[in-house]
Amino acid sequence: MSTTEEKPGAETPETPETPEAAEPAQYDEGFGPEIGVGPHPEPWPEDERYDPELLAEGDRRNVVDEYRYWTREAIVADLDTRRHDFHVAVENWGHDFNIGSVVRTANAFLAKEVHIVGRRRWNRRGAMVTDRYQHVRHHPDTESLTAWAAAEGIPVIGIDNLPGAVPLERTVLPRRCVLLFGQEGPGLTDEARAHVEMVCSIAQFGSTRSINAGAAAAIAMHAWVQRYAEIDFPA
Ligand SMILES: C[S@@+](CC[C@H](N)C(=O)[O-])C[C@H]1O[C@@H](n2cnc3c(N)ncnc32)[C@H](O)[C@@H]1O
């Protein structure tokens, strides 16, 4: 079966189209001071990366300051010049609320692409519209994901605390890799387990059987970042 790539910024019935300037702000639910910036003082910067509507009305989107007033296309193009070599994949069989959070973290850690395996429609709520700045690819099943990865020469690493899993804390993840996560409840499917190169577990110490997939994804992505990312530490 074939895989399909969503255009960054693609909309679904779950994320109705909003004009760029009206993209929902992250902290607009009464939790604190309004984020972002108001209208840009004139004269306006002359650069096609800037969005005249945002310059005129202000930019309240959930983007880092260096991208204030930029069009979404310009932001995606800039991110594309420096995306990391890891991919994130997540199984989507039951509309798991964690997927949005996985996508948001994938954006924060600048994953190359996000892969949704299973149902095409996924629960975007926790993504806080970060998916608009990501390349998202859909695969109908794990076999399609692993076939795509094999063609790209990228190993798929399952992340789950399954019998036989190797501790992530003792594993060097490959620089180019797909990190595949399961969903709440069942975890990685048997099909996924059969297709991955290896499975890594995250050490736990308490009574719960597992952490949630969003937390596990953040930990695994950060393991990759700690090893390979160029980090600008403050002097
Ligand atoms: C809530 S877990 C469920 C499955 C789990 N195997 C169990 O026995 O309960 C959902 C997903 O979160 C991730 N996950 C949760 N805890 C993990 C851990 N300790 N190590 C690795 N992945 C974990 C995995 O991707 C897993 O598929």
Domain ranges of the chain: 1-72, 86-228
How far apart, in whole angstroms, are the C-alpha atoms of residue 219 and residue 132?
Answer: 23
Query: What pLDDT, on the 0 to 100 scale, is given for residue 14?
Result: 46
What's 134's DSSP letter?
A: S
Query: What pLDDT, on the 0 to 100 scale, is given for residue 125?
Result: 87
Q: Is 33 or 67 the better-scoring residue by pLDDT?
A: 67
What pTM was estimated for this model as a whole?
0.89
Backbone φ and ψ of 139, nearest 5°: -125, 130
Is pLDDT above 70 for 112?
Answer: yes
**Which of 142, 156, 160 to probe ligand 1 with, by most ligand atoms within 8 A of CB?**
160
Greatest distance between any 2 Cα atoms in the chain: 62
**Which of 98, 180, 210 to probe ligand 1 with, by most ligand atoms within 8 A of CB?**
210
Query: What pLDDT, on the 0 to 100 scale, is given for residue 3?
Result: 73
By alpha-carbon position, which residue is closest to atom 19 of ligand 1? Answer: 202
Query: What pLDDT, on the 0 to 100 scale, is given for residue 22?
Result: 54
Query: In which band, very low, low, confident or very high, does the pLDDT at 118 lie, cut at 50, 70 and 90?
Result: very high
pLDDT tens digits, one per residue of 195-227: 999 999 999 999 999 999 999 999 999 999 999
Query: In which band, very low, low, confident or very high, does the pLDDT at 157 lie, cut at 50, 70 and 90?
Result: very high
Do 218 and 196 form a contact (C-beta atoms < 8 A)? no
Cα separations in angstroms, 149 against 64, 158, 174: 31, 13, 13
Query: In which band, very low, low, confident or very high, does the pLDDT at 4 lie, cut at 50, 70 and 90?
Result: confident
Considering the segment(s) 86-228 as one domain, its CATH architecture is 3-Layer(aba) Sandwich (3.40)
Query: What pLDDT, on the 0 to 100 scale, is given for residue 225?
Result: 98
